[in-house]
Copies of this chain bind each other. A is one copy, B any other.
């Protein structure tokens, strides 16, 4: 069942990403290290959007010697090549998610800190229109909606 890349079920797109990691490394003369493999695997198995500290906590359970500096470095290089995405929500810390899933934006539940993904084609279209009307090409965008559970009435 290829093409079925709905949500991140355990190990779903992991092999896919691991392959991409190998391609990328070969192409750029980078090395496929254990730490890169493990960090990327754990991130792609994470359904949430962990920050570096939390990601490191998860990584260390599997490979105790990996340092947090390596987590930061790995996120930086992999982001620069589009293998992962970095988000900075209201708390100001970087959070990461494995790339590969289709574009989406986020709802942030300010009470629980939970992050919900959504996609809205109309909004994506309107953005293009707005940028275009101002004479610009879009390079990227950031869109987060901060929410709380609806008040029952």
Give the interface of A toward B (CB within 8 A). 88, 90, 92, 107, 109-110, 116, 118, 120, 122-123, 126-127, 130-132, 134-151
- A145 — which chain B residues lie within 8 A by C-beta? 127, 130-131, 136, 138, 140-141
- Tell me which of B90, B116, B122, B132 contacts A134 (CB under 8 A): B116
Closest 3 pairs between A and B when the two form their complex, measured CB to CB = A136-B147, A139-B146, A140-B146
Q: Contact at B146–A141, with CB atoms within 8 Å?
A: yes
Neighbouring B residues of A151 by C-beta, 8 Å: 137
Q: Tell me if A's interface is mostly helix, strand, loop or mixed.
A: strand
User: What's the Cα separation between A123 and B141 when bound, in Å?
Assistant: 14
Cβ B137 vs Cβ A147 within 8 A = yes
Contacts of A136 in B (CB 8 A): 107, 109, 145, 147-150
A149 to chain B, nearest CB (A): 6
Contacts of A135 in B (CB 8 A): 149-150
| Partner pick for A139 among B118, B137, B140, B147, CB 8 A cutoff | B147
